[in-house]
Amino acid sequence: MGVIPENVKGAVDTDPWLEPFAEVLSERRYLADKWAYDIRHSTADQSEQSLASFARASYNSYGLHADGETKEIRYREWAPNAARAFLVGEFNNWSTESHELKHKDQYGVFSITIPPLASGEFAIPHDSKLKVLLVLPDGSHVYRLPAWIARATQPDKETARQFGPSYEARFWNPPVRYQFKHKRPSFERKNDSLRIYEAHVGISSPEPKVASYKEFTQKVLPRIRDLGYDAIQLMAIMEHAYYASFGYQVTNFFAISSRYGTPEELKELIDTAHSMGLLVLLDVVHSHASKNVDDGLNKFDGSDHQYFHSLASGRGEHPLWDSRLFNYGSFEVLRFLLSNLAFYIDVYKFDGFRFDGVTSMLYNHHGVGAGGAFSGDYNEYLSKERSDVDHEALAYLMLANDLVHELLPENGITIAEDVSGYPTLCLPRHNGGAGFDYRLAMALPDMWIKLLKEKSDDDWDMGNIVHNLTNRRHGEKVVAYAESHDQALVGDKTLAFWLMDAAMYTEMSLLQPLTPVVDRGIALHKLIRLITHALGGEAYLNFEGNEFGHPEWLDFPNVTNNDSYHYARRQFNLVEDQLLRYQHLNNFDKAMQECERHFKWLNTPQAYVSLKNQTDKVIAFERNGLVFIFNFHPTQSFADYRVGVEQAGRYKIVLNSDRADFGGHNRIDEAASEFFTTDLRWNDRSNYIQVYIPTRTVIVLALA
């Protein structure tokens, strides 16, 4: 090999197997670096600006903006295929002539400044309806919601009956804006743990309805704090006209979902979360956009290639999602998406993002069909001949990470939803990586579901479980999880439902004897979560409700279920009922998070697994000084079971899944349980201890 390019030397030092592909990695990084240079020098006077300044200037320039001092309203829109443009709305009785935008340059940018009324008030009242009317080259007229609109609402029933169900753009300019009172929680990416509670505001009520930001603030935030999580990942926040899309068919990128309330109420939610020490992450969808023409970006200016690849190119539509695909090589698209990230950080105080659909973005095949069958061969990602990587999308993701970490240098967090295992995705940009802080360990929930579907408890392979939980790239952090919203959706089953099925409806009462099905289900649910938590990654994620084994799947109202909200809710009332066993799973989740908060095994070097005994169904490992001992055997308990440990001393139990308040059987006398090491090498460790480990139980030990 020749000299390794300096701009990827750090990546090759981390993973020497990348050396044959150093030139390819360098070229891919160069494209992002070139774009960053071009953006920095894109000012009218060619003076240098930061990426953050560019993104902020963009969202402060485009769209509608009210000047509190002059009472002027500025509106700017990019519509290169339009010949003329007019702002219409309630403020001018929907006049198609009175407020024409000026066409300033050859780039298709239209703008208007609207002076105040004679009374000195804004000419457009707060929350009034408006649209932009575009006149196309053939003389036809199209009405659109402004692309940068900050609020869009569903029409009331009467309006929908008369004019259809299209969303309505609103001029959001409240006389009193929410003032943030609390600082962002501190978070050091290198050292601090990240325990994420994934949540959807709309389903966050036991009642069959759409819950609100205020309800989430008052009722769910305290629950998340008390469980011991330190971050929330909010789904379906960006406005989407179709509720059943789960928020993944975005129509208005700068508008937050009006179903749940107002922008000021979301700000209050985030500010309150910060006061509780909770970081708030946004599930951002920049991988694709809704095909909805009336409400979204599709054919905004009459063309099919303004924000997206043209349909004729074959790259403009996702083959499975029935959605449009962004053209990441367009300067104006980069402006739109990067400023979108800055907007949510600055205006709403989000602390970072989980980027949806990164696999789809990374590859021209979008992870579909034969192209999505990744074996881990580096040639699939990095070979000039074999890989099908979308270099422009990858460059955008690099710039997005640059921007987030420039805006939030201390605590900004980025997470990639990537199933392909793209090498260097989670290495720092300065080392030649894409810059993400974490990727989701998407193979882990698939493993657990596969085991529960296809294997009896006797056939669980301890070595295979350990391999899947530890099979991750050195130096690239992952978020481990046993189940996310994907597993909760209708068509699949949650872990709890795979374990207990109909028994969750009939056998969860404490007023009746514990049945074998529920006993097994509660025991394994605890073991699966903790081994995933402790062995599977450098961060952990739980989907709302799974902490207590939510008994039902998730399904949004649609034509197939008669628009029912029955399954679009979370039954927190089940936890609060002291006569039901759901509380035990919830209690264990809280204890698990509190144990990690105190002893901190996440974000530490990967565990050393000293034992994966297939016959005994026992797994033991050490991480950050703690000893984890899991007995998955369906019937066999073990007395004086020998486990190797590296550090000598006296060990005590700090977490025990067999406690009665966790739904266990209290078979371990913790007060009398002290474990002294014997100075004899065992399982390649310097010492050993002997413990009592009941069937389907995990104990965690720490030096006393």
- H or E stretch at 592: helix 582-599
Is the pLDDT score of 374 beyond 60?
yes
Same domain (yes/no): 39, 70: no
- Sign of the C-alpha dihedral computed for residues 474, 476, 481 and 487 taken in this order: negative
Q: Nearest 5°: phi and psi at 135?
A: -100, 120
Residue 15 belongs to a domain: yes
> CA-based Rg of the chain, rounded to a whole angstrom?
27
CB 651 within 8 A of CB 692: no
pLDDT band at 491 (very low <50, low <70, confident <90, very high): low
Query: What is the distance between the alpha carbons of residues 220 and 119, in angstroms, rounded to a whole number?
Result: 44
Residue 597 belongs to a domain: no
Same domain (yes/no): 21, 90: no
Same domain (yes/no): 699, 613: yes
Q: Nearest 5°: phi and psi at 547?
A: -65, -25
Residue burial 339-353, b: 16+ Cβ < 10 Å; e: rest: bbbbbbbbbbbbbbb
Model confidence over 422-473: pLDDT tens digits? Answer: 999 999 999 999 999 999 999 999 999 999 999 999 999 999 999 999 999 9
Same domain (yes/no): 69, 164: yes
- With tokens 């298709």, the residue in question is 108
pLDDT band at 387 (very low <50, low <70, confident <90, very high): confident
CATH of the domain at 663: 2.60.40.1180
pLDDT band at 157 (very low <50, low <70, confident <90, very high): confident
Model confidence over 623-661: pLDDT tens digits? Answer: 999 999 999 999 999 999 999 999 999 999 999 999 999
Residue 626 belongs to a domain: yes
Residue 595 belongs to a domain: no
Same domain (yes/no): 628, 668: yes
Residue 127 belongs to a domain: yes
**Which pLDDT score, from 0 to 100, does residue 320 have?**
94
Q: What is the mean pLDDT of residues 566-586?
A: 96
Same domain (yes/no): 78, 146: yes
Distances (CA, A) of 310 to 209, 299, 358: 39, 10, 21
From the candidates 417, 418, 552, 589, which is the catalytic residue?
A: 417
Ranges of H-type helices in 276-425: 331-346, 358-362, 379-382, 391-407
CA dihedral 515, 521, 524, 525 (to 10 degrees): -140
Containing structural domain, residue 658: 608-703
Catalytic residue flag (residue 670): no
Among 21-25, 303-307, 326-330, 550-554, the minimum mean pLDDT is found in 550-554
Same domain (yes/no): 39, 108: no
**Which pLDDT score, from 0 to 100, does residue 175 have?**
95
Tokens of 38: 């071009």
From the candidates 356, 476, 544, 596, which is the catalytic residue?
A: 356
Is the pLDDT score of 370 beyond 90?
no
**Which of 155, 170, 185 represents a domain boundary (last residue)?**
170
Longest dimension (CA), the chain: 90
**Which pLDDT score, from 0 to 100, does residue 104 have?**
76
Among 152-166, 272-286, 426-440, 655-669, the minimum mean pLDDT is found in 152-166
Residue 183 belongs to a domain: no
pLDDT band at 47 (very low <50, low <70, confident <90, very high): confident
Query: What is the distance between the alpha carbons of residues 485 and 269, in angstroms, rounded to a whole number?
Result: 21
Same domain (yes/no): 32, 139: no
Q: What is the mean pLDDT of residues 547-571?
A: 92
Same domain (yes/no): 84, 134: yes
Residue 646 belongs to a domain: yes
Same domain (yes/no): 39, 78: no
Is the pLDDT score of 1 beyond 60?
no
Is the pLDDT score of 141 beyond 60?
yes
Residue 559 belongs to a domain: no
Number of domains in the chain: 3
How many other C-beta atoms can be found within 10 angstroms of the C-beta atom of residue 7?
18
Q: What is the mean pLDDT of residues 574-584?
A: 97
pLDDT band at 488 (very low <50, low <70, confident <90, very high): confident
Tokens of 578: 């002291």
Distances (CA, A) of 69 to 72, 91, 210, 219, 346: 8, 20, 38, 38, 21
Is the pLDDT score of 492 beyond 90?
no
Tokens of 199: 């949540």
Model confidence over 305-333: pLDDT tens digits? Answer: 999 999 999 999 999 999 999 999 999 99
**Which of 142, 170, 198 represents a domain boundary (last residue)?**
170
Catalytic residue flag (residue 356): yes
Q: What is the mean pLDDT of residues 31-37?
A: 96
Query: What is the distance between the alpha carbons of residues 85 and 66, in angstroms, rounded to a whole number?
Result: 20
Same domain (yes/no): 42, 135: no
Is the pLDDT score of 409 beyond 70?
yes
**Which of 137, 170, 203 represents a domain boundary (last residue)?**
170
**Which pLDDT score, from 0 to 100, does residue 541 have?**
98
Q: What is the mean pLDDT of residues 353-372?
A: 93
636: nearest Cα among 662, 655, 613 = 613
CATH of the domain at 123: 2.60.40.10
Query: What is the distance between the alpha carbons of residues 560 and 580, in angstroms, rounded to a whole number?
Result: 32
517: nearest Cα among 490, 545, 497, 547 = 497
Give me the amino acid identity at 280: V
Same domain (yes/no): 90, 25: no
Query: What is the distance between the alpha carbons of residues 28 and 155, in angstroms, rounded to a whole number?
Result: 45
- With tokens 């990967």, the residue in question is 606
